[in-house]
Amino acid sequence: MVHSNYHIHSNYCDGKNSLEEMVQAAIQEGLTSIGFTGHAPLPYENDWTMKKETVRSYMDEVRTLAEKYQEHIDISLGMEIDYFMDTEDISSDSKALIPELDFFIGSIHTIGKMRNGLMADIDYTPEIFEAGIKDCFDGSVSAFVRRYYESLGNMALTIQPDIIGHMDIIKKNNADNRFFDDQEPWYQEAAGTCLDKIKASGSIIEVNTGGMIRYGDRCLYPERWLMETILEKEIPITLNGDSHTTEGICYAYEEVLTLLKKVGFKAIMVRKKGSWAQESI
């Protein structure tokens, strides 16, 4: 059994439960090490990240809970920070927050700004996904996919996040290969080059079960063939729930742990006394 989860949200952003409710759920499930990763504020209006004015309260509350529950569980303060493909950077506010965190996840959630002025999210609906590719990449899915993996790799090298978030989240709206086939050579080449950059950065890749609770097994990130490539390239992994509810605190962990062992993984990365270390699975 895995006893950790370093991708947890709360009602400070798009989670449903309070920080303390998530802590209590983690303890009840037998977890011994967790990290909170509220979505860092973004420089545009949205309904899924923390607000700039609540960030300090979030950080203070996580620190308070870490002290309150220290005899039961180790709690780290983190954030999930967005990297933008159009600027190849994170926001200035995020840069200022990083030194105050124990760790952080680097993720890409947006395609870019559409002609109507709105941001197109990668993981919202298939219609928004398609509209974003149409407006930002002249409708070329392959150009978008290549740019996504190029930017994800650049993110790893430039900001060096502790964890790379949901590496192939672009498949979320790709049911039945609606937009692309990840078995095609061009796709696997783009993902493979990205993995080389991640390896060079020293970042950890998360195996993320958060999509499974909402959309089923096809939304386990990353795909098995990517897991096999990650193992071949000797890139470290960790197992995370991307938990937005107490029910998701370690959703499908046993099932995914069995898969990881079948692929050939022997260990995951966990936080121990403020540092990352390997733990056998």
Q: How far is CA 107 from CA 45, 68, 83, 165, in A?
A: 18, 30, 6, 5
pLDDT at 273 over 90: no
pLDDT in tens, 130-156: 999 999 999 999 999 999 999 999 999
The predicted pLDDT at position 182 comes to 98
The predicted structure's pLDDT at residue 119? 96
Q: Chain centroid to CA 108: how far? A: 8
pLDDT at 27: 99
State residue 204's pLDDT score: 99
d(CA 2, CA 18) in angstroms, rounded, equals 23
Say how many Å lie between the first and final Cα of the chain, rounded. 7
Cβ-proximal residues to 152 (8 Å cutoff; 6+ apart), any chain? 83, 108, 164, 167, 194, 197, 198
Tens digits of residue pLDDT in 216-239: 999 999 999 999 999 999 999 999
For 37, the 3-state DSSP assignment is strand
For residues 196 and 272, give the distance between their C-alpha atoms in angstroms, rounded to a whole number. 27
Token pair recorded at residue 269: 């990365």
Please report how the helices 224-232 and 253-263 are oriented relative to each other, as an axis angle in degrees rounded to 10.
Answer: 50
116-121-127-131 Cα dihedral, nearest 10 degrees: 40
What mean pLDDT is predicted for residues 189-196?
99
Q: Is the pTM of this model over 0.85?
A: yes
Question: pLDDT of 30-78, one tens digit each?
Answer: 999 999 999 999 999 999 999 999 999 999 999 999 999 999 999 999 9
Enumerate the domain spans of the chain: 4-280
Superfamily of 4-280 according to CATH: Metal-dependent hydrolases (3.20.20.140)
Query: Among residues of the chain, what percentage have pLDDT more than 90?
Result: 99
71-87: pLDDT as tens digits: 999 999 999 999 999 99
pLDDT category at 253 given cuts 50, 70, 90 is: very high
Average pLDDT, the chain: 98
pLDDT band at 1 (very low <50, low <70, confident <90, very high): confident
